[in-house]
Amino acid sequence: MASVTFENVTKRFDDVIAVDALDLAVDDGEFMVLLGPSGCGKTTALRMIAGLEGITDGKLLIGDQVVNDVDPARRDVSMVFQSYALYPHMTVQRNIESPLLVRRYHADGPDKPARKLTRTERVERVDEAARVLGLEGLLKRKPAALSGGQRQRVALARAFVGRPKAFLMDEPLSNLDAKLRAQTRLELVDLHRRVETTVVYVTHDQVEAMTMAHRIAILSAGRLQQVGSPQEVYEAPANLFVAQFIGTPPMNTLNGTFGTEGGPAIVVGGSRFPVPADLKTRLEEGQGVIVGARPEHLDVSDAGTITHDVRAVEWLGHECLVFGSVEGSPVVVREAGMAPLPAGGTIRLTVDPANVHLFDPDTTERLA
């Protein structure tokens, strides 16, 4: 177990900057999710921890050790790949055992010299890993004879058998079907609780990030946008990108101006959004802002000050999504149960001022 620290780390491929001056500290034992759209640099960052990509600039530390120039095999990290990357010619047993066969371990305590494990020790560890991941009956099979979920668990067992300082996972659930994915999410959380190893987990799926992470690091175009607990990034997105990336459907955002006529409000055409209490005194009359509100925070009410033109209603059983527009900008509203709203009609919406987010239109940073 060890922390993983990026200090101003940059990765350039020829002219492309994949990771731009990343500062990020993953605590010892923490489950950190790197989240972002394709090409945001999250996988490159993960591969730099593994040593599969070189570091152009900056310092990367595992524990207290700078590992920029340390060989991948000597970093004592393990990785679960998207394709699982099992060895197809070896049995499950051999696949899991493989890191134990070649690496040296501090098996007699941290002060004693590292050595190769004995046969008995290897068998013990493989059996333990197989038991934890429910693979006992499959040890003699080859990967081709396993289902996707089983292969995935073999990959996890192989990563976990050497008790590495950190587990790296690159979209490990993306090849599973939806049901198995939901189940494996829970198993991963259980596994992490049991082994208490530092986990750095890469995904573009915000559900995985929200459900498993202690903290989420959101990246876009190689830059770190925000680091925080799932609750923090959801309730207080640091900028417009995070606001629109987290949440399904994402946060509604509209261009408006701050006005005080008839009480302080964000004016968007003929609609008025309330202003969070702490911001009322800090905005100037006529100042342009981007106003944001999550679909679940908009409520249908005849007393509402926001006019919504309904285009279509999607009923999902436990809730419905009302699609339409406010002053020409698309806005989605989430209502519990079945809202009897006709398409083509107009409804009025209210929102609690505490649930209104404001962003600077120039920098797209949160105004707080």
Partner 1 sequence: MSTAGRLLRRRDRPRYTAKEIAIAVALLVPSIAVFVAFFYRPFLNLLYWGTFESRANGAFFERVGLRQYREQLTSSDFREGLWHSVQFVLYTVPAGLVLGILLAVAAHRRLRGIKVFQAIFSSTLASSVAVTSVIFLYLLHPVVGVFRVDWLTNPDTAMFAVSLSSIWQNMGLSFIIVLAGLQNVPDEVMEAATLDGYGPVRRLLRITLPLISPVLMFLLVVLVIFGLQAFAQVDILTGGGPAGSTETLVFKINRLVRPDTIGIGAVYAVGLFFITLAVTAVQFVILERRVHYAR
Nearer to partner 1, 68 or 98 (CB): 98
Report d(CA 161, CA 272) in Å as an integer.
58
Residue 88: cis peptide before it, omega within 30 degrees of 0: no
Contact flags string 20-59 toward partner 1, x per CB under 8 A:
------------------------------xxx-------
Sign of CA dihedral 337, 341, 344, 345: negative
Nearer to partner 1, 88 or 137 (CB): 88
158 makes contact with partner 1 (CB under 8 A): yes
Contact flags string 133-152 toward partner 1, x per CB under 8 A:
-----------x--------
State in angstroms the smallest separation of the CB of 189 from partner 1: 23
Report d(CA 326, CA 71) in Å as an integer.
56
State in angstroms the smallest separation of the CB of 91 from partner 1: 12
Interface of this chain with partner 1, residues 272 to 291, rule: CB under 8 A: none
Query: Binding-site residue total for partner 1 (CB under 8 A)?
Result: 22
Residue 112: Cβ within 10 Å count: 9
Nearer to partner 1, 167 or 258 (CB): 167
Largest CA distance in the chain: 80
Nearer to partner 1, 25 or 85 (CB): 85
Q: Identify which of 150, 246, 134 has the alpha carbon closest to the alpha carbon of residue 191.
A: 134
What's the distance, CA 17 to chain centroid? 21
Nearer to partner 1, 34 or 79 (CB): 79
Contact flags string 76-115 toward partner 1, x per CB under 8 A:
-xxx-xxx-xxxxx--------xx--xx------------
State in angstroms the smallest separation of the CB of 155 from partner 1: 8
State in angstroms the smallest separation of the CB of 96 from partner 1: 11
Residue type, 234: Y
Question: Quick one: 12 exposed, middle or buried, by C-beta within 10 A (0-12, 13-18, 19+)?
Answer: middle
Q: Which two tokens stand for residue 179?
A: 């049901």
DSSP 6: E
Sign of CA dihedral 128, 129, 130, 134: positive
State in angstroms the smallest separation of the CB of 174 from partner 1: 13
Nearer to partner 1, 78 or 307 (CB): 78
Q: Which of 58, 63, 72, 250 binds partner 1 (CB under 8 A)?
A: 72
Report d(CA 40, CA 37) in Å as an integer.
6
Q: Which of 1, 16, 66, 73 binds partner 1 (CB under 8 A)?
A: 73
State in angstroms the smallest separation of the CB of 141 from partner 1: 14
Nearer to partner 1, 47 or 204 (CB): 47
Q: Which two tokens stand for residue 73?
A: 């095999």
Nearer to partner 1, 88 or 317 (CB): 88
**Secondary structure class of 99 (helix, strand, coil):** helix
Concatenating the DSSP letter of every residue in 293-310 gives E-GGGEEE-TT-SEEEEE
For partner 1, the binding residues (CB under 8 A) are: 50-52, 72-73, 77-79, 81-83, 85-89, 98-99, 102-103, 144, 158
